[in-house]
Amino acid sequence: MNVQYGVRAPWIGGDTSALNWRRSFHGRVDEIGGARDFVGFLLANTRFAEQAEFAVSEFAGNALRHTISGQRGGWFCVHVGMGANGMAISDHGGPRATVCVAVRDLGGSGIPAIEVREDHESRGGLAAIAEFAVTLGCDGSPQRGHLVWAELGLPEAA
């Protein structure tokens, strides 16, 4: 599993050949279910839906707990992106289906720590996402906010 800091999320913005969706939510815990539903709707009947919903729930929960997004008047934004036709070329040269899910927060003090420790007893949170994500990453700063993302992919196309 690869963790990247200061790296833009695959397929999120910039690439005009990619499919991108985003939606903002109020910075309240009761909005996490809406974020999951948004991702589930976009990825319905794909092999990525369940993992993407879980990742977005974790990222949104962390944004609300640890950043300005969870304070009065805060918000977070969910991004979902995939390569054109849902395909990307892997580092190994072959095509693979890939989806990237991300949550943008409003920043605050500190930088999100994506730590995956093997000795961690609980397999929840980022450690659980690390078990199925191709890559986890974070871009941004406390001043302008962070985009925490996971690239989900499989060796072969659907």
Q: Decide if 51 contacts 152 (C-beta within 8 A).
A: yes
pTM, rounded to two decimals: 0.83
Closest C-alpha to 46, from 103, 107, 87: 87
Per-residue pLDDT tens digits for 3-42 = 666 677 766 665 565 688 999 999 999 999 999 999 999 9
- How does DSSP classify residue 117? -
Task: Give the DSSP letter of residue 119.
Answer: T
Token readout for 136 is 């986890």
Answer yes or no: are the C-beta atoms of 26 and 75 closer than 8 Å: yes
pLDDT of residue 46: 83
Q: Fold for domain 4-153?
A: Heat Shock Protein 90 (3.30.565)
No. of helices (H) and no. of strands (E), the chain: 3, 6
The two beta strands, 135-141 and 2-5, are parallel
pLDDT in tens, 88-128: 444 444 555 678 999 999 998 777 776 655 555 555 677 88
46-56 pLDDT per residue, tens: 888 999 999 99
pLDDT of residue 82: 78
Write out the two tokens for 91. 């580092």
Q: How far apart are CA 94 and CA 145, in angstroms?
A: 34
Q: How many CB atoms lie within 10 A of CB 53?
A: 18
